[in-house]
Amino acid sequence: MAFDIDMIKKVYANFPSRIDAARKVVGRPLTLSEKILYAHLWDGDPKKAFSRGTDYVDFAPDRVAMQDATAQMALLQFMQAGRPQVAVPSTVHCDHLITAKEGASIDLPHARTESAEVFDFLSSVSNKYGIGFWKPGAGIIHQVVLENYAFPGGMMIGTDSHTVNAGGLGMVAIGVGGADACDVMAGLPWELKFPKLIGVKLTGKLNGWTAAKDVILKVAGILTVKGGTGAIVEYFGDGAINLSCTGKGTICNMGAEIGATTSTFGYDESMERYLRATGRNEVADEANKIAAYLTGDSEVYADPENYFDQVIEINLDELEPYLNGPFTPDLATPVSQMKVEAEKNGWPLKVEWGLIGSCTNSSYEDLSRAASIANQAISKGLVTKAEFGINPGSEQVRYTADRDGYLKTFEDLNATIFTNACGPCIGMWDRTGAEKAEKNTIVHSFNRNFAKRADGNPNTFAFVASPEMVAAIAIAGDLGFNPLTDTLTNDKGEQIKLDPPTGDELPTKGFAVEDAGYQAPATDGSSVEVLVSPSSHRLQLLDPFTPWEGTDLKGLNLLIKAKGKCTTDHISMAGPWLKFRGHLDNISNNMLIGAVNYFNDKTDNVKNELTGEYGPVPATQRDYKAAGIGSIVVGDENYGEGSSREHAAMEPRHLGVRAVLVKSFARIHETNLKKQGMLGLTFADKDDYDKILEDDKIDILGLTEFAPDQPLTLVLHHADGTEESFQVNHSYNAQQIDWFKAGGALNIIRAEAAAKAAL
């Protein structure tokens, strides 16, 4: 079934004329990314060319997607926007609040009971405001979106950084915070700095053990975790056409790990095949009518250096499998070199767990290729040396894979089939023994491998690989195992070599499912009541943040000077904290507890300037808030890397932090800070980071003349009586400055809704 077909037809009806107009104003052929961006301008037909990396532009996304952990805060904000229904098609997907432990048959019922209050809230809010609701167990948001909602040439935003997965079906799909989603659902324009463009030309064809996952693992090694910041990555070439649609989705998915705004591929036959296989013939028929507009112009791909800001070329014929990690997804090591690298760096070679799934690699094709390795192991007398876990991407994938015997193959190899949910990928894994914090190695097909992310153990060395490579290494139990060259000993003492994986791009018998888990909203939700108990520990209605007081900020305490990598996982951990995503005050007790204090190299241990004692970051900040003292957080490069979670911005705002000053920001986090009325500042001279001392009192001057492109001044009052001052930069435009002054973008939306209601 094709959801929202009338909306898709409307987008396609306008597409050719808007692209033709864009070519005229830009004065040259267009990339696919530019076509989609210019076709989704808030003001309609393009009237001017935009400068990449400079101009802020208002867009009109076609739809919004939210997962259960982030949807809570997004919808709590939307409830204050004053609208009876969402303005664009929107969905909620319950995939984050399901702990993996025993297996789906036990874990899913437990989650339904444990998080019933949250699921009921999300179900009722969706029902009231016209939002499609996917129940717990229906699947992982990005796999469900790819199967049901993504369409070539569309623009979507989602409250999860891996929204970018939909680029596998030719979308510009971008991860955002809940406040951005709230804007779009409220019928307002969505603002984005016009992205730069990185072109990746793929030639050749994948073969042997190499998978689509290895393309993005290699790209991550080239660009690093911040190399794609502010850019769309567009893949093209014969190699791109040779990839499956879900393989394209895998590549786009992990574009979040290089900081890219999003990634995308042009419309081709693999996308048409996937649309038809997932019951969307009508979408494929409509896309075929304007197919030439749903990919980059031929001149662009013939001479890419003239159209992209950076071009990378990868020959798939020569690409080898990779293992990325540990502790960062851009540390790329060819499988053939892993044994040497592991021994050199002291990485544990014994593999304890192999995990397949997540939004990145949980498609039918992924499971079928991994199952081919598992089936070989069984037939050749091998057993897994590591424990083995599988998370199917959706109920449709799970049901079909079960029908076709793949799940039984995994179970015959003693694998645990977890729920169709995120599970270990986001830290929702109750792993036995993790509390011992022992040094160990796991391999998985997920996208991120930050310290503590999967199981809470800082000493778990996690490596990212393709599903088929995970299966092979789990069977070997050895991180240094290279299935291309190495052999294993079977139960008869024979040396066995695994054959390369095989699998089906799409099920030959077609997809099947009994109950996909979808709940349509009420036609008229005006009588639906949304209840939030005032005594709830899971949900809390929001109070507006206070507006700026109209003066410079003086006498701020330094809360923490974070050292090194500080992702949104460090700022607002997931795992067990996910249960508080709808309760801002309770979840604020995890604020910055994973950040490393520059002054003592400890986590969750900072000096309280009121007592002179060291203690937890949240408790220290609560003391400052109670005393009416503002504070500032200082950070390093690419601060806020990782998830889109706006809690990493809302928690400091809620507890009284006034500004975040860093060497550089990750895109989504900087936007989230702005939306919540926070000051997000960067050092004009990065060496000034070293000048900030633990006992400093800090002033931020120039706010009374706060204006775009005008630096502010930071004054440090050191404990010895000396002072230093230096410039700090910001990227606020006029509208974003209004958000700051109003105390957050939501306050402006609320005021506008109240004004309309008063008329």
Residue 655 lies in a domain: yes
Percent of the chain at pLDDT above 90?
Answer: 93
Residues 76 and 217 in one domain: yes
Lowest mean pLDDT among 10-19, 423-432, 639-648, 689-698: 639-648
Q: Is 58 known to be catalytic?
A: no
Q: Is 160 known to be catalytic?
A: yes
Helix axes 5-26, 32-39, angle to 10 degrees: 110
Q: Any idea what the CATH number is for the domain that residue 574 is in? A: 3.20.19.10
The mean pLDDT value for 274-303 works out to 98
Residue 545 lies in a domain: no
Please determine, for residue 758, whether its predicted confidence score (pLDDT) is greater than 90: no
Residue 526 lies in a domain: no
- CA 558 and chain centroid, separation: 30
Residue with tokens 């499609």: 132
Catalytic residue among 4, 68, 95, 569: 95
Please determine, for residue 754, whether its predicted confidence score (pLDDT) is greater than 80: no
Cβ–Cβ under 8 Å, residues 729 and 704: no
655-675: per-residue pLDDT in tens?
999 999 999 999 889 999 999
476-528: per-residue pLDDT in tens?
999 999 999 999 999 999 999 999 999 999 999 999 999 999 999 999 999 99
Residues 272 and 329 in one domain: no
| Structure confidence at residue 667 (pLDDT) | 87
Q: For the chain, give me the number of helices (H) and strands (E)?
A: 25, 30
d(CA 493, CA 496): 9
SS (H, E, C) 461-505: EEEECCHHHHHHHHHHCECCCCCCCCCEECCCCCEECCCCCCCCC
Residue 606 lies in a domain: yes
| Structure confidence at residue 323 (pLDDT) | 98
Label residue 645 by pLDDT band (50, 70, 90). confident
Residues 586 and 627 in one domain: yes
Catalytic residue among 18, 40, 63, 96: 96
The most distant pair of C-alpha atoms in the chain lies apart, rounded to whole Å, by 84
Residues 199 and 311 in one domain: yes
Cβ–Cβ under 8 Å, residues 97 and 140: no
Of 270, 298, 315, the one marking the end of a domain is: 315
Of 471, 495, 519, the one marking the end of a domain is: 495
- Domain of 386, in residue numbers: 322-495
The mean pLDDT value for 330-356 works out to 98
140 closest CA partner among 428, 423, 420: 420
Catalytic residue among 18, 40, 398, 645: 645
Of 289, 315, 341, the one marking the end of a domain is: 315
Residues 98 and 34 in one domain: yes
Please determine, for residue 348, whether its predicted confidence score (pLDDT) is greater than 80: yes
Residue 728 lies in a domain: yes
| Structure confidence at residue 533 (pLDDT) | 84
Catalytic residue among 115, 631, 643, 664: 643
Handedness of CA 375, 376, 381, 386 (dihedral sign): negative
| Structure confidence at residue 749 (pLDDT) | 83
| Structure confidence at residue 532 (pLDDT) | 86
Please determine, for residue 750, whether its predicted confidence score (pLDDT) is greater than 90: no
Residues 574 and 695 in one domain: yes
Q: Any idea what the CATH number is for the domain that residue 390 is in? A: 3.30.499.10
Residues 293 and 373 in one domain: no
End-to-end CA distance of the chain: 42
More confident residue, 178 or 208: 208
d(CA 366, CA 295): 26
Please determine, for residue 471, whether its predicted confidence score (pLDDT) is greater than 80: yes
Q: Is 362 known to be catalytic?
A: no
Residues 156 and 273 in one domain: yes
| Structure confidence at residue 257 (pLDDT) | 96
d(CA 601, CA 393): 39
User: What DSSP assignment string belongs to 405-443?
Assistant: THHHHHHHTT-EE--SS-GGGGT-B--TTGGG---EEEE
Residue 16 lies in a domain: yes
Burial of 394 (0-12, 13-18, 19+ CB in 10 A): buried
Residues 449 and 417 in one domain: yes
Residue 163 lies in a domain: yes
The mean pLDDT value for 74-93 works out to 93
Residue 527 lies in a domain: no
Q: Is 398 known to be catalytic?
A: no
The count of domains in the chain is: 3
Catalytic residue among 18, 448, 538, 653: 448
d(CA 282, CA 294): 16
Residues 246 and 270 in one domain: yes
| Structure confidence at residue 697 (pLDDT) | 98
Mean predicted lDDT score pLDDT of the chain: 96
Label residue 87 by pLDDT band (50, 70, 90). very high
| Structure confidence at residue 716 (pLDDT) | 98
| Backbone Cα Rg of the chain | 25
| Structure confidence at residue 746 (pLDDT) | 86
| Structure confidence at residue 690 (pLDDT) | 98
Cβ–Cβ under 8 Å, residues 555 and 699: yes
Residues 648 and 706 in one domain: yes
Label residue 586 by pLDDT band (50, 70, 90). very high
d(CA 244, CA 246): 6
Residues 310 and 413 in one domain: no
